[in-house]
Amino acid sequence: VFGLNSSGPAPAGMSLDYLHAAGHDEIPERGGLTVTVPGTVGGWAALQDRFGSRSLDRVLSAAVAYARDGAPIASNFAEACVRLRDVVDGHPGTRGVFGGPKRTGDIMRQPALAKTLERIGIEGARAFYEGEVAADMVATLQDAGSAITLDDFAAFEPEWVEPISTSYRGYDIVEMPPNTQGPTVLLMANIVEG
């Protein structure tokens, strides 16, 4: 069993003082202040590097094709787009990705995502965390109030961690250690067992 923590950290500049200066007493439900460094891409690369038998561009090729050529929208996604229309329309970044009417069965194409995934496949995860892609994300997030910087992106590295576990009615339950909710699951299992 292996543990890979690729959850991205909060921006280094995020602090209570930063929140107060932005007019908040706590992190709001939505918006730039809620965003951490995106860790998924670094996680993909770490997994591919350690366990992969195919190149990252080959692994991502189907995702690139779906983003470029489109895929039918599922009913739950179409419903969410209608329900969250004010959120989607509230920022140019979300409008660019999710804007426009969406109905079940419509074909959704995301050419910018296809280009980003293609670049990651060819150049590796650093193409996401440094350079043009990172600069675009950081600028968009800063426009939305985030404290995130290019340094936050460039510094991100996923971390291989030792999983934690407990026994529950004869079964081993394995979870991720903090900074995740893994310990909570294990504690709940032990409480329920008692």
Separation CA 44–CA 162 (nearest Å): 18
Q: Per-residue pLDDT tens for 60-69?
A: 999 999 999 9
pLDDT level of residue 138 (50, 70, 90 thresholds): very high
Separation CA 194–CA 166 (nearest Å): 13
- Residues whose CB is less than 8 angstroms from the CB of residue 134 and which lie 6 or more positions away in sequence, other chains included: 128, 150, 153, 154
Question: For residue 101, what pLDDT is reported?
Answer: 64
Is pLDDT above 90 for 184?
Answer: yes
Q: Which helix (H) or strand (E) holds 173?
A: strand 171-175
Q: Find the length of the chain.
A: 194
Burial class (CB in 10 A: 0-12, 13-18, 19+), 7: middle
Looking at this protein, which amino acid is placed at residue 15?
A: S
Looking at this protein, which amino acid is placed at residue 156?
A: F
Full-model pTM:
0.85
What are the phi and psi torsion angles at 90 (to 5°)?
Answer: -75, -10
Separation CA 172–CA 186 (nearest Å): 10
Extract the tokens encoding 83. Answer: 């329900």
Is pLDDT above 90 for 176?
Answer: yes
pLDDT level of residue 175 (50, 70, 90 thresholds): very high
Q: Per-residue pLDDT tens for 96-129?
A: 777 666 789 999 899 999 999 999 999 999 999 9
Question: For residue 192, what pLDDT is reported?
Answer: 95
Is pLDDT above 70 for 24?
Answer: yes
Question: For residue 100, what pLDDT is reported?
Answer: 66
